[in-house]
């Protein structure tokens, strides 16, 4: 065949394949539609995506999701790196994109021990970091950030990861895992959470306010977090919801533990949100189930078994795990307000680099080419059984 003709035939075939794929994309149900009567379906946008450097991820997000959370750009270290310096550019774009696309817009996160710059925890004039300094600092940070997006960001994760696995408030200097301290508590005392919620409410009286954490199915945490929510409500401090991070694995938490946690928290009379869902298919390096970003573990080739692609039987196992999890979510649909995936597609996921660096994980519903995986079909099937 003449070379030009070969090229033409190849071009038409490629065009046909793309058209077919696009047609399939148009016909297939979307996550947000499938769960429209149940809860919002959210995703987390990375700063590259927000800044327009990965348009395909934004297109997919606009199509599939009804809520957004920023992966990083509203964390203290990124938005407020120096005492008198804010970087609102990515957050401004994030909020504007959310508005243009009719999203429920989440702010994440105001008060946390991680991704907070050292200056925020430093004492003044050589004195130790004390209550007064810390209160002034959180008040002005929250006032500036929440105030800027008043009436535009719908809900805020006010405090992140304040309670340890034994149900105690974290305290002390930050340190690396397992010394997970909480300088805000160390300086202010037990009421720092209440203070943060009060400041956030004052900065935007219409915004919803949430407490967010991991390992929330641990019995000691169920008790402590329930007490925290009830305590705030009793004092008349606004708290609208509980964010349940979902950085889970193939065998943890057990389905019964998810069910039990939702039942228990469901009694509190606040909205429940699965805020950071991703299910790692890789072998966990140890028995930890947390999402502590400072935890690091070593890995070898056995810990990275699918460097090129996820085999079909593993895809199927992931699909079944996701279906089982979503069945429980649907059972609790009256209490669950939103289910947010931590990332748009596998290629973006932090789980490729944590807790073991440089692995290839497959924890989300869309693959690295933005295509739905068997887990996507399985989740849709839970909402719309054929
Ligand atoms: C925690 C935080 C998130 C994010 C994840 C890991 O769950 O709440 O903001 O940092 O860890 O990416």
Would you state the pLDDT for residue 174?
A: 79
Decide: 329 in ligand 1 pocket, CB within 6 A. Answer: no
Alpha-carbon distance 111 to 203, whole Å?
Answer: 14
Note if 161 is an active site residue. yes
State pLDDT tens for residues 332-344. 999 999 999 999 9
What's the rounded mean pLDDT across residues 178-185? 86
Alpha-carbon distance 25 to 228, whole Å?
Answer: 44
What's the rounded mean pLDDT across residues 312-319? 98
Note if 276 is an active site residue. yes
Decide: 340 in ligand 1 pocket, CB within 6 A. Answer: no
What's the rounded mean pLDDT across residues 30-55? 98
Residue 328 has pLDDT above 90, yes or no: yes
Closest to 268 (Cα-Cα) out of 236, 235, 239, 237: 239
As a whole-number percent, the residues of the chain with pLDDT over 70 amount to 92
pTM of the model: 0.93
State pLDDT tens for residues 358-371. 999 999 999 999 99
Decide: 245 in ligand 1 pocket, CB within 6 A. Answer: yes
What's the rounded mean pLDDT across residues 203-227? 98
Residue 6 has pLDDT above 60, yes or no: no
Query: 71 CA to middle of ligand 1, Å?
Result: 7
Higher pLDDT, 4 or 224: 224
What's the rounded mean pLDDT across residues 180-208? 97
Domains in the chain: ranges and CATH: 28-383 (3.20.20.80)
Alpha-carbon distance 379 to 375, whole Å?
Answer: 6
Alpha-carbon distance 333 to 249, whole Å?
Answer: 22
As a whole-number percent, the residues of the chain with pLDDT over 90 amount to 89
Query: 159 CA to middle of ligand 1, Å?
Result: 12
Would you state the pLDDT for residue 300?
A: 87
Arithmetic mean of pLDDT over the chain: 94
- What atom of ligand 1 comes closest to residue 75's alpha carbon? 9
Catalytic residue among 161, 182, 216, 335: 161
State pLDDT tens for residues 119-139. 999 999 999 999 999 999 999
State pLDDT tens for residues 73-129. 999 999 999 999 999 999 999 999 999 999 999 999 999 999 999 999 999 999 999
Residue 262 has pLDDT above 70, yes or no: yes
Alpha-carbon distance 92 to 78, whole Å?
Answer: 13
- What atom of ligand 1 comes closest to residue 161's alpha carbon? 8
Decide: 160 in ligand 1 pocket, CB within 6 A. Answer: yes
8 Å CB contact between 77 and 47? no
For residue 160, what pLDDT band results from cuts at 50, 70 and 90? Answer: very high
8 Å CB contact between 244 and 226? no
Respond yes or no on whether the N-terminal peptide bond of residue 49 is cis (omega within 30° of 0): no
Catalytic residue among 54, 64, 216, 276: 276
Extended strands (E) in the chain: 40-45, 67-70, 104-111, 155-160, 208-213, 241-249, 271-280, 336-341
Decide: 276 in ligand 1 pocket, CB within 6 A. Answer: yes
Pocket perturbation via mutation, ligand 1, pick of 342, 344, 364 by most ligand atoms within 8 A of CB:
342
Residue 17 has pLDDT above 90, yes or no: no
Would you state the pLDDT for residue 18?
A: 47
Q: Which residue has the tokens 């209490």?
A: 335
Residues with Cβ within 8 Å of residue 45, at least 6 apart in sequence: 57, 58, 61, 68, 69, 70, 71, 94, 97, 344
Decide: 69 in ligand 1 pocket, CB within 6 A. Answer: no
Residue 3 has pLDDT above 70, yes or no: no
Q: Cα–Cα–Cα angle for 223, 225, 230, nearest 5°?
A: 95
Quick one: how far is CA 214 from the chain centroid? Answer: 10
State pLDDT tens for residues 250-261. 999 999 999 999
Tokens of 233: 């409500």
Among 9-13, 141-145, 177-181, 377-381, the range scoring the smallest mean pLDDT is 9-13
Would you state the pLDDT for residue 20?
A: 54
Decide: 289 in ligand 1 pocket, CB within 6 A. Answer: no
Residue 329 has pLDDT above 90, yes or no: yes
State pLDDT tens for residues 19-33. 455 556 668 999 999
Pocket perturbation via mutation, ligand 1, pick of 45, 289, 293, 355 by most ligand atoms within 8 A of CB:
293
Query: 213 CA to middle of ligand 1, Å?
Result: 9
Query: 220 CA to middle of ligand 1, Å?
Result: 21
Tokens of 276: 């950071």
Q: Closest residue (by CA) to atom 4 of ligand 1?
A: 71
Q: Residue 155: what are its φ and ψ, rounded to 5°?
A: -155, 145
Would you state the pLDDT for residue 1?
A: 45
Sign, CA dihedral 209-187-80-275, equals negative
Would you state the pLDDT for residue 26?
A: 60
Would you state the pLDDT for residue 152?
A: 98
For residue 301, what pLDDT band results from cuts at 50, 70 and 90? Answer: confident
Residue 70 has pLDDT above 80, yes or no: yes
Alpha-carbon distance 158 to 92, whole Å?
Answer: 19
- The number of residues in the chain equals 386
Would you state the pLDDT for residue 180?
A: 78
Decide: 293 in ligand 1 pocket, CB within 6 A. Answer: yes
Alpha-carbon distance 216 to 375, whole Å?
Answer: 24
């Amino acid at each position: 065949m003449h070379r030009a003709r070969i090229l033409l035939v190849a071009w038409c075939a490629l065009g046909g394949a793309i058209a077919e794929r696009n047609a399939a994309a148009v016909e297939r149900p979307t996550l947000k539609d499938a769960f429209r009567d149940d809860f919002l379906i959210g995703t987390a946008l990375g700063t590259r995506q927000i800044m327009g450097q990965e348009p395909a991820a934004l297109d997919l997000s606009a199509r599939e999701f009804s809520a957004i959370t920023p992966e990083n750009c509203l964390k203290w270290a990124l938005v407020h790196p120096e005492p008198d310096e804010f970087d609102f550019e990515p957050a401004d774009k994030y909020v504007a994109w959310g508005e243009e696309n009719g999203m429920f817009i989440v702010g994440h996160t105001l008060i946390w021990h991680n991704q907070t710059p050292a200056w925020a925890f430093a004492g003044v004039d050589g004195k130790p970091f004390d209550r007064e300094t810390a209160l002034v600092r959180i008040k002005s940070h929250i006032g500036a950030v929440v105030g800027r997006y008043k009436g535009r960001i719908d809900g805020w994760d006010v405090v992140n990861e304040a309670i340890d696995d034994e149900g105690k408030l974290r305290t002390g200097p930050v340190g690396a895992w397992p010394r997970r301290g909480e300088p805000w508590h160390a300086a202010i005392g037990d009421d720092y959470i209440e203070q943060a919620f009060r400041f956030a409410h004052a900065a935007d009286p219409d915004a919803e306010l949430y407490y967010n954490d991991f390992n929330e199915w641990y019995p000691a945490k169920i008790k402590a977090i329930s007490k925290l929510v009830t305590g705030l409500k009793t004092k008349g401090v606004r708290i609208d919801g509980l964010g349940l991070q979902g950085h889970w694995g193939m065998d943890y938490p057990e389905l019964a533990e998810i069910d039990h946690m939702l039942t228990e928290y469901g009694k509190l009379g606040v909205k429940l949100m699965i805020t950071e869902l991703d299910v790692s298919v890789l072998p966990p390096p140890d028995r930890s189930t947390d999402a502590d970003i400072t935890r690091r573990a070593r890995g070898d080739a056995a810990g990275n078994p699918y460097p090129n692609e996820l085999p079909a039987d593993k895809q199927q196992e992931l699909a079944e795990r996701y279906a089982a999890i979503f069945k429980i979510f649907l059972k609790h649909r009256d209490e669950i307000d939103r289910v947010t995936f931590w990332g748009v597609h596998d290629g973006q996921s932090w789980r490729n680099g944590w807790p073991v660096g440089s692995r290839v994980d497959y924890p989300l519903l869309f693959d690295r080419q933005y295509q739905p995986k068997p887990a996507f079909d399985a989740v849709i099937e839970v909402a719309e059984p054929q």
